[in-house]
Structure 1
């Protein structure tokens, strides 16, 4: 390249280059609300009205949630819709929509309407740019008129606060509040009770103690589940998930039975919850010689010959044992419900009654 060409290129680099002519800023046209105070006041009232309606919609959402029956239906000719769901959608949607409309109306009619040109700058902000941004923010706050129109600011804060209430209220649909009383009456309680027969989980036949052989494992359930299955399928599934059992028979001389559980077994026959205390997987992998029960999910291992204590894996507590005995005909029956909650552990649970190694 010749030297004259290099000089021409350098000169072009030093000259600001635009693909098209800079059109500049168009002539500013005043808004009606800027020149007419009555129009400005009317726009302010409209913003306040929309925010007030938003607050009413939020409150209506809460009232509808508690007052309208979930089984109510709205009919629209041949179309049908759940009344509560429809009304909650309308009130919740309007509450948010009105806040958006009010902010747009406020910005277009009341905030400062000055037109400015913002020159592009590098992405990285210098301390000077940050200080300038802070000043611009303060100028924006001043231009918004929030200081002069405090009612709008207060209404916006109130509407934004109330619109969060419907979201909080709907959290109640996640289930009952897990207080101590609720836990004791639901997840910490099963259908096992004094006198309830232990039955095979497939045939629902009662299990006779004399029919069980040493080393045998039987999956069992409470007899009452068979009737519940036909009366209330949902309650049946919930009860079955908590009440599932494994029954094992071992040589009484090869197992350790603490003094506090001497009458919980029948000649080496013991009953344990089938639900792993780690995350609730069903267990039935039985090793006869070691008396170990292995969970297939995460390999937690329980020693059924030693009160169901954990000998390996992530489970943090022993497998709950069901106290059992026999009735007059020799069939296995429960003496009571489990003395500790079955299933996976959770932090709210009172674990003081869990059996630990060395307990009697």
Structure 2
């Protein structure tokens, strides 16, 4: 029947574990605290179900049951130890269900530093930033390489059935419209490459912002400036700041929204309010489904774990970078015997920057391509 056999009904996911949540806010706005309190409410009897991967030290003042100190370990540890272990763990007996990243801005920095070292060694240079490589190295698009590196690891964890709770920084950005009008808005601080990864893949974006209420000395809210006896406007000496969670963009908050129709404009900051908004947003997507949310959750959990096992088995069958290098070495020995090893040079230069670059590569995709190419030479 062709494609008709692939047509199916889709029921929206109802478990936090099935979503990518992005919580953005200024420094000290309460991002890590929100992660902690939301996870404690969502997993009250399972403190290990939510693990925070801390790429910065903002977690130090919080009592957390499950946290990994990533800022002292780096990207190599994340890609070669954390991700494979979590994929295997998901198959053998899942412990963590939702992964927190604090912050994705620092995760991007960590991956960038790893790639800079890799490219410096590859091209024999001593650049200190991605931008320097972008301006001086023309053999590959470094921004695409950065996006692919991060996306590959995130996708592996997502395919292994983990939910995400990404924490990110915001900034006030000035924008000029096509008509020349300027306005300020709160947006993500990260670069365009980071936004392509995290903003584009977030199912729900919540922005934490401190709204200021100006009052008089008695605590009454003012809707216009105080004035002197000479009718001159003066500033009040009293105000209150209330942290709100924005779930929809406003005339000032740009970074908010999601794939749900039933979202409020904003709510007062609290873990209880956040989870209530999430639950109501999920229920708002279930217009025709007669199953209860709990029954849907059970069905989706079973399917998620079945898919996880299939994905983990596929990952197990893949060769490691070391095994790929070893097999390429064997192919080169074979090609030398038939005097065709020189046919590898052009392809290897393209993939690794030099004919022998494969020896130090950890890019399993490129190594697999190189091995396939070598095997194709008869």
The TM tier, using the shorter chain, reads: under 0.3
| TM-score after normalising by structure 2 | 0.19
Larger Rg over CA atoms: 1
By percentage of residues, which structure has more helix?
2
By percentage of residues, which structure has more strand?
2
